Amino acid sequence: MARRRELKGIANAINESFVSRNNDFKGYWSIGQIKSLALDNGLTSMTFPLMLSKANPTSGLQSYTVCHYANMLKSLLKKQKLPNFWVNNAVIEIDFNPNVELAQLYEYTISGEPFQCSCQITSDTGRDYTSIIYGRCWRHAIAQEFKSTRNSS
């Protein structure tokens, strides 16, 4: 029997995929590219709505990210046999200026600057299911990165 608490697992799966090194756009890690996009626009955080009707992407990277993770959400709901109407809202937010004390609790590398990524799914009952991951990244720089050899978007 399907239960709404399974939405927490879906939030974790989406968030883990989002911060993964396998999340690339045009062969380069998406997180670094998102950081560059945010800094170039004077932002310290970016939000990606996973409900396509609420999305308003302004770049190819944003459009790809919203579509890819909105489809992942739909796929995971279907796989878990959860009805779509149980999800009232879903967003991924990445903050490149996180609470430093919390970010230091997750020190596993000294390379890059800290970020906090959260995926929040709000159910039809109004309950939030949230996953938070801390990591480190540099802004995207082609001269300092290796391009993936995988076929990617």
Compute CA 126 distance to the chain's CA centroid, rounded to the nearest angstrom.
21
The pLDDT assigned to 29 comes to 83
Give DSSP secondary structure letters for 64-117. HHHHHHHHHHHHHHHHTT--GGGEEEEEEEEESS--HHHHHTT-S--SSEEEEE
pTM across the whole model? 0.84
Measured distance CA(79)–CA(4) in Å, rounded: 14
Q: What confidence tens digit (pLDDT) does each residue in 5-23 have?
A: 999 999 999 999 999 988 8
Supply the pLDDT for residue 149.
56
The 10 Å Cβ neighbour count of residue 73 is 24
- pLDDT bin (cut points 50, 70, 90) of residue 137 is confident
Kind of pairing, strands 87-95 and 113-123? antiparallel
List Cβ neighbours of 137 (8 Å cut-off, separation of 6 or more): 29, 31, 32, 35, 112, 113, 115
